[in-house]
């Protein structure tokens, strides 16, 4: 199973990512330095995130999954730093 997921952080910001292996425990790879700046030391000690599967497929190609990921990043605007942690595709201003 392959899927595109959305991670929601305690501050409401989101990260859209993909998993080509269907690993249950995978929670993405946003830029950790960006995350570090958004939370103080107390917040980092009790931290809950939510992962939602936005789209999944048993037979989509990796290329199709990549396209769906970009589509959902743009739809949810998670590449806008005030909304999310995706740094690609670059936000067009």
Instruction: Identify whether 20 is part of a domain.
Output: yes
**HSE toward the beta carbon, residue 90, CA cutoff 13 A:** 2
Instruction: Identify whether 87 is part of a domain.
Output: no
Residue 15 domain boundaries? 2-76
Instruction: Identify whether 92 is part of a domain.
Output: no
Confidence at residue 69, expressed as pLDDT on a 0 to 100 scale: 97
Q: Count up the domains in the chain and report the number.
A: 1
Q: For 28-79, what is each residue's pLDDT tens digit?
A: 888 889 999 999 999 999 999 999 999 999 999 999 999 999 999 999 999 9
Alpha helices in the chain (DSSP H): 32-38, 41-45, 62-76
Instruction: Identify whether 89 is part of a domain.
Output: no
Q: For 38-49, what is each residue's pLDDT tens digit?
A: 999 999 999 999
Tell me the pTM: 0.92
Instruction: Identify whether 90 is part of a domain.
Output: no
Instruction: Identify whether 17 is part of a domain.
Output: yes
Per the CB < 8 A criterion, the answer to whether 27 and 75 are in contact is: no
């Amino acid at each position: 199973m392959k899927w595109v997921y959305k991670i929601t952080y305690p501050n409401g910001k989101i990260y859209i990512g993909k998993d080509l292996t269907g690993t249950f425990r995978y929670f993405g790879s946003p830029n950790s330095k960006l995350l570090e700046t958004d939370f103080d030391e107390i917040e980092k000690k009790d931290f809950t995130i939510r992962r939602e599967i936005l789209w999944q497929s048993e037979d989509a190609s990796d290329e199709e999954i990549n396209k769906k990921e970009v589509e959902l990043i743009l739809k949810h605007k998670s590449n806008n730093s005030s909304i999310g942690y995706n740094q690609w595709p670059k936000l067009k201003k």
